[in-house]
Amino acid sequence: MTLPRSQLISPAHTPYYHCIARCVRRSWLCGEDTYTGKNFDHRKPWLLERLALLTQVFAIRIAGFSIMSNHYHAILYIDQSLASSFSDEEVIDRWHQLYTGSPLAIRYRKGETLLPAERDLLKLTVARWRVRLASISWFMRGLNEFIARKANKEDGCKGRFWEGRFKSQALLDERALLACLAYVDLNPIRAGIAGNLETSDYTSVQARIEELKGNHSKEAPALMPFSESSLQKETQPAIPFALKDYLELVDWTGRCVRNDKKSINPTEPQILQTLGLNDAEWQHLALTLQKKAIRAMNGWDRVAKLREQQNRAKKVSK
């Protein structure tokens, strides 16, 4: 029996999740459709712009992303402390950037006086919205529904645009996070549509490289910073590595030949020693990211604890 999303995503175990959504029948609805001859590349910026808006509204940060022709990847971070810091007024303002809200909230924003019972009801509504602003399910809903409606309107049709609800993988430790980031950023290179990181369009690694050059794109969403500094981590969430080390690792991994798992550059990046991985182990994780690889790099003990919690939640829901 498939578990509900609320049981699969547990911020208590990890704030990091790898989310994937595919177009219906895996059609090339965001790229070059060889069957019809139509090109839908112009839809990829739609996802970038929507991601940029959603990160301004939700207490969800983007660690990495890649937008392909028939699917996309997003590595998301749930910022519970940020959601808790929102005032009631900020929750209302953020929610109204995307949704109509409620009549009481609209009256409240206009400065109208509410009755005590109405104020209590509004507080309950705001509490529900606060939870949703830290929900990956609502974040992905705000992304996928918007893109589906816009694409269907353009095509003059109805029906599904996405294959189904998004899939998610919990990233329970630093090795899982880094391997998943590399896997996502290397998508265009593995697919053979880009030769290097700088030409890997619609990826977080390209956005980071361009930002280092001082060419920040208005379309690209704000990304979580990399930082080894414990001081910076206290002020805002950060990926616990140096950006320079990560770029070196991804560049080195991108040179790997998938058939024989060899690298053009014989020198392994120093960061692999920090992670406690050798060449073969890293390439298996970063280039395949299969379920078994995810479980292995997450650590069997952590996976067991998460599975135990899911089983308990499943029994309670019966």
**CATH number, residue 234:** 3.30.70.1290
pLDDT at 198 over 80: yes
Query: Nearest-CA neighbor of 18 among 283, 297, 210, 252?
Result: 297
Structural domain boundaries enclosing 35? 5-83+134-317
End residue of a domain, out of 132, 158, 189: 132
Q: List the single range of 183-192, 208-217, 253-262 with lowest mean pLDDT.
A: 253-262
Is the domain of 236 the same as that of 261?
Answer: yes
pLDDT (mean) for 153-180: 90
pTM recorded for the entire structure: 0.85
Q: What are phi and psi of 20, to 5 degrees?
A: -135, 135
Q: Does residue 117 share a domain with residue 50?
A: no
Report the alpha-carbon angle 8-10-11, nearest 5.
150
Residue type, 176: A
Looking at residues 84-108, what average pLDDT do you find?
Answer: 95
pLDDT at 97 over 90: yes
DSSP secondary structure of 231-257: HHHHHS--BSS-HHHHHHHHHHHHT-B
My answer on whether 192 and 124 are in the same domain is no
Residue of 79, 66, 93 whose CA lies nearest to 135 = 79
At 258, the pLDDT band (50, 70, 90 cuts) reads very low
Coil, helix or strand at residue 69: coil
74 and 65 Cβ atoms separated by less than 8 Å? yes
72 contacts 21 by C-beta, under 8 angstroms: yes
Give the list of residues 6+ apart from residue 273 with CB closer than 8 angstroms, or none.
Answer: none
Number of domains in the chain: 2
Helix (H) or strand (E) holding 266: none
> Is residue 62 predicted with pLDDT exceeding 90?
yes
- Band the pLDDT of 263: cuts 50, 70, 90: very low
Tell me the average pLDDT of the chain.
Answer: 83
Residue 280 in tokens? 């073969």
Where is pLDDT greater, at 120 or 158? 120
What would the pLDDT profile of 226-245 be if each residue is shown by its tens digit? Answer: 987 655 555 789 999 999 99
In the predicted structure, residue 63 carries a pLDDT above the cut 90: yes
